Structure 1
Amino acid sequence: MDVLELARLQFAVTGSLHFLFVVLTLGLAPLVAIMHTRWALSGRPLQERMTRFWGQIYVINYALGIVTGLVMEFQFGLSWSGLTHYAGDVFGAPLAMEALVAFFLESTFLGLWIFGWGRLPKWAHLACIWLVTATAYASAFFIMVANSFLQNPAGAVLSGGRLELTDFGALLTNEALVFSFPHVLGAGLFTGAMVLVGASAYQLRRRTADVEFFTRSLRIGVVTASIGIFLTMGFGYAQFAGVQEGKFQSGTPGLIPLGFMTEGGNLLALVVLFFMLPLIAVLPRWRWTHPILIALTPVPFVMAILGWLARELGRQPWMIWEKLTVADAMSPQLTAGMVTASTIGFVAVLGMLAIVDYVLIARVIKRGPDDVALGAAAEQRSPALSY
């Protein structure tokens, strides 16, 4: 492999590993916020336990996932300085907004939510998790703004050999963004919900004592997953119109089959979930369905990666569609040895974080809701300080 192929491989592998964390974060955040809302309104201990348990899984995934995002930032400076020079004034703006939202606002509100149990007023504490969700979605929005600019460079003109932003509104209403952003949000809901489904089915199959807890979680997961996969498929197929028109996708061999394979997998999951929806009342008691639901848990992660491959391969050989090639976007001083060494380092770090993430999540799921660190300190304080 030459240096360009190595650089592309590096970004593909690290980007895919990072997105595994992102898609789960986008799915779990609103589910945890809804659970917390139901607890704040009802005051039921069961709703509190659900909020703490699934919130613990969210916190683990977020804490490790945010580190993987730093690696993505390093790669732009290390391997793609040509992109920064040519379009940094445009492409860098949404990335900077994402950094402000994700690394500052989202982290701040999440910290307040984590350490606010029993300390913050009830509604202020609830507001924190909804602000976490809002900033997570805002972060995804700005990332998709940047990516959509690569697909369709709207709102910018060439001046002095560099792209300059002339219409910020066009950047935010890019035709490549209109369908792709809801598509990603739907994929996130599908992923987060299937984690609820798989974990709940695992516990119910083990004949857990927390039958009501995981029965409710399973039902929430199946309904949410059905909504998420429906949105994913709808907006996913809508993006094929752009492929046919050739506005922001090329005819890279294999793109269309890969895209339809991805949507075909989504369709299969949709059929399975909708088949189970009418049976949701008895589903938790049917142990033969539990292995099926557990086996479906990794499906959204696989589909998410295949979807990104379809989107990114469709732009080749362009980094910015019909403006800048991938070869010209690469840093000129790179050598194959440099890229190989950095790839080994990046993949080792991200791979380790991914393994640690899923091991920790698996341990939390296996232990169940009675041994959760999130909010545990609040139980030791005076009842007058908690709610």
Structure 2
Amino acid sequence: MVNPVDVLDIARWQFGITTVYHFLMVPLTIGLAILVAGMQTAWYRTGNRRYLKMTKFWGKLMLVNFAMGVVTGIVQEFQFGMAWSEYSRFVGDVFGSMLAMEGIVAFFVESTFLGLWIFGWDRLSKGVHLACAWAFSLATVASAYFILAANSWMQHPVGIEMVDGKPQLTSVWALFTNSTVLAAFPHTLFGCFAVAGAFLVGIAAWKIARHHRKSAVDNEDRKLWHTSMRLGAWVGLVAFAGLAISGDFQAKLMFSQQPMKMASAEALCHTEQPAGFSIFAYGDVGRPDCESVKSFTVPYLLSYLANGDFTSEVKGVQELVPEYQEKYGTHYPNDPRLGELAGKPIDYTPNLPVTYWGFRFMIGFGAVAAVAAAAVLWFTRRGRFPKGRWVGPAALASIATPFLANVFGWIFTEMGRQPFVVVPNPNPSGVDGVWMFTAQAVSSGVSAGEMLTSAIALTTVYGALAVVEIFLMSRFARGGVEAVMPPESSKDDDESSGDGKSEDVLSFAY
């Protein structure tokens, strides 16, 4: 007999691995697309060839990342039907509408205008071509909003009524204006800009350092990399400020909507008034009673983060568990599809080490990225650039910090809502009585062997794609501006050669 627990664990690992990998592409694509559109706007308005070079170089790297994002994103939708069919049956009326809008509206606009942008150099007017750049870049933002609206409904169900035990959508406007998505969207968008900013800083600083070592610095190219580097640093610094503000608002909302998640994020096992914010903890954080945990805290800060009041009460895990048991039951339903879990006690406590350290790694790596951006602005003021063999490697390593902050943020968000895949509402801001346990969501007709085979296969394929992504990014980054720009020529040489088309019309088509 198949053990449903094994199937569930493997399905969660499979979805976690593929989703985290896919999300590495998403923030870079969104942030870089908008920055590239901004670079092209600067070229359109000023005619400065430096901005054209920046547009083409960073645009090429953006396209590589976009292609990988499309390939890895398609798999996500198949998993809903194959590994999580019970979940799809439950939320299909709500979740399906968001995915349909993301695919038909956002992705259609995105891919159409991206194609026009790629092949439209020297074929479209400069104004129309620029409009295409903004159309596809803003479409990526719209795509993110649709996906976040779907995810936010899982975190906080709204706009539905229960019919025959399943949610049916009654107001799409409620989905779009869900308080959870209104908080998550700006936070995610600032995260995208943090990633794109660090990407610009890392590669541009590496290019300058590499030129220094070779003693072959082209002054114009050096200005280009210097401009890119400082642009990325400013974007990263502003993004971190936005993350701090939006994150504070999101945390207050989460304390209201998902108190167990936030108590777990602090390893707050017992109610405190006032409550201090834990900076670092040691001991067995995995024990629900936290008796062995010692924590360095900032007094009163958690109370403020939770309620905007330095003296307010914050409930701990031990006090929240009975409340959850009273509202949502003490045992799983006697559903034969749950196998060994049927009728067993429900553990309402998320994985404390994952939520606690995930929350801190998210904040920590974000802070490191902000400090790096501030340091870049300081050391590169007035055209300066630090010397030393460490500069290039350090710049490249800094690219990883906002990526890691994003990844740990999503791990915390998704792991912290366990054991629910659709989280119930403890307050009157959503629709009461709507939830689904993760154990109920996995496909009942899939064996552990089949799930394990698909998990191994997808992980292997994604590993190969990671090698391809890194290879292409490295190759095009090393190629620099020369690899994406046609040779500069006289005005006569740029005129059409009899067929009405410029000779370098496909110079940007890859």
Same fold by TM (over 0.5)?
A: yes
Quote the offset at 1:223 in angstroms.
0.7
Cα pair 1:27 1:191 within 8 Å, conserved: yes
In structure 2, the residue matched to 1:305 is: 407
Please give the secondary structure, in 1, of the residue aligned with 2:381.
Answer: coil
Alignment counterpart, residue 230 of structure 1, candidates 238, 241, 249: 241
In structure 1, the residue matched to 2:374 is: 274
Alignment pair present for 1:189 and 2:193: yes
Cα pair 1:195 1:297 within 8 Å, conserved: yes
Number of matched pairs: 385
Deviations 1:241-268 (A, max 9, x none): 2332244763422324421331122123
Deviations 1:114-153 (A, max 9, x none): 0000000110000000001110000000000010010001
Cα pair 1:189 1:225 within 8 Å, conserved: yes
Cα pair 1:60 1:360 within 8 Å, conserved: yes
Cα pair 2:203 2:396 within 8 Å, conserved: yes
In structure 2, the residue matched to 1:285 is: 385
In structure 2, the residue matched to 1:263 is: 363
In structure 2, the residue matched to 1:133 is: 137
Quote the offset at 1:292 in angstroms.
3.3
Quote the offset at 1:86 in angstroms.
1.0
Quote the offset at 1:193 in angstroms.
1.3
1: CA distance between counterparts of 2:257 and 2:46?
A: 52
1: CA distance between counterparts of 2:495 and 2:13?
A: 52
2: CA distance between counterparts of 1:247 and 1:339?
A: 30
Alignment pair present for 1:220 and 2:320: no
In structure 2, the residue matched to 1:178 is: 182
In structure 2, the residue matched to 1:366 is: 478
2: CA distance between counterparts of 1:93 and 1:248?
A: 29
Please give the secondary structure, in 2, of the residue aligned with 1:158.
Answer: strand
Alignment counterpart, residue 73 of structure 1, candidates 72, 77, 84: 77
4+ residue segments displaced more than 4 Å: 288-291, 373-376, 383-387
Cα pair 1:52 1:375 within 8 Å, conserved: no
2: CA distance between counterparts of 1:3 and 1:305?
A: 24
In structure 1, the residue matched to 2:457 is: 345
TM-score by length of 2: 0.72
Cα pair 1:117 1:375 within 8 Å, conserved: no
In structure 1, the residue matched to 2:306 is: none
Alignment counterpart, residue 335 of structure 1, candidates 447, 471, 474: 447
Determine which structure has greater relative contact order: mean sequence separation of CA pairs < 8 Å that are 6+ residues apart, divided by chain length: 1
Cα pair 2:42 2:51 within 8 Å, conserved: yes
Identity %: 37
**What CA RMSD, in Å, does the superposition of the two structures yield over aligned residues?**
2.3
Alignment pair present for 1:206 and 2:318: no
2: CA distance between counterparts of 1:64 and 1:261?
A: 26
Alignment pair present for 1:167 and 2:269: no
Cα pair 1:186 1:228 within 8 Å, conserved: yes
Quote the offset at 1:284 in angstroms.
4.7
Quote the offset at 1:11 in angstroms.
0.5
2: CA distance between counterparts of 1:154 and 1:290?
A: 49
Please give the secondary structure, in 2, of the residue aligned with 1:163.
Answer: strand
TM-score by length of 1: 0.93
Counterpart residue type for residue 396 of structure 2: I
Q: 1:152 to 1:341 in 2, by over 3 A?
A: same
Please give the secondary structure, in 2, of the residue aligned with 1:179.
Answer: helix
Alignment counterpart, residue 48 of structure 1, candidates 49, 52, 66: 52
Q: Which has the larger radius of gyration?
A: 2
In structure 1, the residue matched to 2:398 is: 296
Deviations 1:290-347 (A, max 9, x none): 5433321111111111010000011111110131111111111111111111112222
Structure 1 spans left out of the alignment, 5+ residues:
none
Structure 2 spans left out of the alignment, 5+ residues:
212-216, 265-349, 425-434, 506-510
In structure 2, the residue matched to 1:315 is: 417
